[in-house]
Amino acid sequence: MTMMKFNKNFFLFVGCCIYLSSHSTSAFLFKTRQSTAPSLTRCYEKRTSKTKKGSGKGFGSAPASTTPVMTSFPYAGTIRPGQQTPQKTVPAHIPQPDYAKTGRPAAQRPLLPWIIEPKTPEQIQAMRTAGRLARQVLDMAGRMVAPGVTTDEIDQAVHEMIIKNNAYPSPLNYHRYPKSCCTSVNEVICHGIPDDRPLQAGDIINLDITVYKDGHHGDCSEMFVVGGECDDASRDLLQTTYDAWLLACQYVKPDRYYKDLGALIEDHVVAKGYSTVKGFCGHGVGSIFHTTPNILHYRNNEPNGQMAPGHTFTIEPMICQGSAKHLSWPDDWTATTVDGGRSAQFEHTLLITPDGVEALTGKTEDSPLQFWERESKVHLGIWLGTSKDAVEKQTKINREKHGLGV
């Protein structure tokens, strides 16, 4: 799930006290009012700020339904908010993150952007479990994508599958987000709220799934084409976004710098006529949903740290057909392109290993193979990482399952 871009002035104030004044920063703290970006974190804060302490919507206590349409709002594209069903509940016996009841995360994140927690073997095993479940839920939700199906129906199925596996849907009540997953259709860049709008043939949709299991989060997202066919422009957008994302994922290895990932993405997409969103970014993930490092998907020189074995984080570029500037809807969550152009995104939770990187939310033998994986010039077939174990596994699946001689 995406994170926010933060205000430079706040960091400069802190940086003058704690680091070299010559650095500039656009994203590293995880909660500040100074930001102008309508990010996941800031939107939750805006929602919280309107409510007296202790009186806000708690866990599972949303109104019966909401219809957040504002007819006077200058929506940029064709997507409009629909009706939302009540916020769902989670059985008390299922372990829950610290924000499940209050909507406010209590865990503290490192103040400095280059302080990154290396996971222990026990934590890594827990993240493998969470990541695998997140992948299985995402695959299930992807199979539901079809004309006439509503995103609310997908959210219901996502919620039920996660609960059935004794896990918690991480987005639910995180800073009071009302649903169990994010569903972003066409011009929606990120944080689309599931509602009663039926999907239409030719739509493209990003399904963003995060689960909390064994005390850790597994976070991933993927694009799907409604009805299996879309226009050529959307097809090229999807292929370009996927290839740019893979270029960044393949770059990951110990001792490299997180700041260098953005240039790989931006250079690839700009050369093909696309733009990369700067208002949202990838993030560290583990027992805390969003933490260091911040992963910026554009060329930058931010001091976001150096890669090392045991780091876990997401890469999740949002690529747009036209302008990469975003428009925040009145629901304080949904972010769309300002010109109505379509946007695409892919995401994995990644683990840095001594010999490369592994996708903890990587595809399995049962996962569908999408056209961009068959036609990619960066990597043919499913991609699971660059470590020895990941390469052996993906080669086996691609050959035996998908008939690809890679």
- Which residues does the annotation place in the binding site for a divalent metal cation? 208, 219, 283, 316, 347
Tell me the HSE value of 7 on the side-chain side, using a 13 A CA sphere. 12
How does strand 335-337 pair with strand 188-190? antiparallel
d(CA 13, CA 278): 22
Tell me the HSE value of 96 on the side-chain side, using a 13 A CA sphere. 21
H or E element that contains 124: helix 121-144
d(CA 356, CA 348): 15
Does a cis peptide bond (omega within 30 degrees of 0) precede residue 147?
no
d(CA 334, CA 81): 9
Residues making up the binding site for substrate: 191, 290
* Both tokens assigned to 353: 């290993």
The residues, ordered by sequence, that sit 6+ positions from 93 with a Cβ below 8 Å of its Cβ are none
3-state secondary structure 251-291: HCCCCCECCHHHHHHHHHHHCCCCEECCCEEEEECCCCCCE
Q: SS3 for 47?
A: helix
Closest CA to 23 of 251, 305, 316, 276: 305
Residues making up the binding site: 191, 208, 219, 283, 290, 316, 347
